[in-house]
Amino acid sequence: MYSPNSPKFALFFLTAAAAFAADQIHMKNGDRVTGSIIKKDAKTLTIKTDLFGTVTLPWDQVDNIKTDQVLNVVLPEGKTVKAKLDTQEGKVAVATTDPNVPAATVEPAGIVALRNDAEQKAYERLLAPRLIDLWAGNATIGWAGTKGNAETQTFTMGLTAARVTNTDKMTVYFNAIRANAEVNRISARTAQAIRGGWGYNRNLTKKLFVNTFNDYEYDRFQNLDLRFVLGGGLGYAAWQGERGRLDLVGGAAYNREKFDPIRPQLPFVRNSAEAYWGNDFRYRLNTRTNLTQSYRMFNNLTNTGNYRVNFDVGATTQVFKWLTWNIALSNRFLSNPVPGRQKNDFLYTTGFGISFAR
pLDDT interval class at 129 (50, 70, 90): confident
Would you list the DSSP string of 96-165? Answer: ES-TTS--EEE-GGG--EEE-HHHHHHHHHHHS--TTSSEEEEEEEEEEEE-SSEEEEEEEEEEEEEEE-
pLDDT interval class at 77 (50, 70, 90): confident
Give the mean pLDDT of 116-126. 88
Beta strands 135-146 and 104-106: pairing type?
Answer: unpaired
| DSSP-derived 3-state class of residue 9 | helix
pLDDT, residue 16, reads 43
Segment 341-350, tens digit of pLDDT: 889 888 888 8
- Residue 253 to residue 247: CA distance in whole angstroms: 18
Mean per-residue pLDDT of the chain = 87
Give the mean pLDDT of 126-154. 82
Residue 220: phi and psi, rounded to 5, are: -60, -40
Give the mean pLDDT of 209-218. 97
Segment 299-343, tens digit of pLDDT: 999 999 999 999 999 999 999 888 999 988 889 999 998 887 889
User: Residue 191 pLDDT more than 60?
Assistant: yes
Give the mean pLDDT of 41-54. 89
Q: Which of 38-52, 104-118, 150-164, 285-299 has the highest mean pLDDT?
A: 285-299
pLDDT, residue 345, reads 85
Check if the beta carbon of residue 22 is closer than 8 Å to that of residue 36. yes
Report all structural domains of the chain as residue ranges with CATH numbers, in order of start. Answer: 7-127 (no CATH), 135-357 (2.40.230)
Would the pTM count as exceeding 0.75? no
